[in-house]
Amino acid sequence: MLVEAAFWRPDRLRGGVDDVLREPALAHYVTGWPRVGDLGVVAEVEHPVGAAWLRLFPADDPGYGFVDAGTPEVAMGVLPAWRGRGVGSDLLDALIVAARDAGSVTLSLSVEPDNSARRLYERFDFHQVGEVDGSLTMLLRL
């Protein structure tokens, strides 16, 4: 699902698992899973069709949506054939409940402004708190 998140633009060349694992800025969203503080949900229809997960990053190895070392960052992806059918909304719903139960008070993420996922995040009350290299950093207070 990290591949889906990393190569979200349908008009661009798509990479595979090896490509994301070779790129440290992408690989660190999943390497060594599960680490302390990691939390995730998977949507399955016989097989996994989507996932949303949280990871805490230290300030010296920040994710794209880094806000502070106490704010887990959201990553998510849904298989193309399953998009636009509510899977992402259900995943985000479940992830937010789990994050609250785990004691998180804020969640962050990074999204490119022209990704329609931005609307999804805004619907869940994420709001923009910064911009890094043209991508929006968004924050949700739980």
Ligand X SMILES: CC(C)(COP(=O)(O)OP(=O)(O)OC[C@H]1O[C@@H](n2cnc3c(N)ncnc32)[C@H](O)[C@@H]1OP(=O)(O)O)[C@@H](O)C(=O)NCCC(=O)NCCS
Distance CA 27, CA 31 (A): 6
Position 40 contacts ligand X (CB under 6 A): no
Segment near ligand X (CB under 6 A); pick from 21-29, 54-62, 94-102, 116-124: 116-124
Q: CB of 120 within 8 A of CB of 92?
A: yes
Please tell me whether residue 89 binds ligand X under the rule CB under 6 A: yes
Asked if residue 78 lies in contact with residue 128, where contact means CB atoms within 8 angstroms, the answer is no
Binding status of residue 76 toward ligand X by CB under 6 A: yes
Give exposure, 32-57, as e/b (b: 16+ Cβ within 10 Å).
Answer: eeeeeeebbbebeeeeebbbbbbbbb
Per rule CB under 6 A, is residue 119 in the interface with ligand X? yes
**Closer residue to ligand X in complex, CB, 52/103:** 52
Residue 127 binds ligand X, judged by CB under 6 A: no
- Judged by CB under 6 A, the residue of 4, 26, 51, 108 near ligand X is 4
Q: How many residues bind ligand X (CB under 6 A)?
A: 20
Contacts for 114 with CB less than 8 Å, ≥ 6 apart: none
Stretch that binds ligand X, among 17-25, 27-35, 87-95, 97-105 (CB under 6 A): 87-95
Q: CB 103 → ligand X: shortest distance, Å? A: 24
Element (H, E) at 48: strand 47-55
Closest CA to 94 of 129, 137, 50: 50
Residues of the shown chain interacting with ligand X in the complex, contacts defined by CB under 6 A: 4-5, 8, 76-78, 83-89, 111, 115-117, 119-120, 123
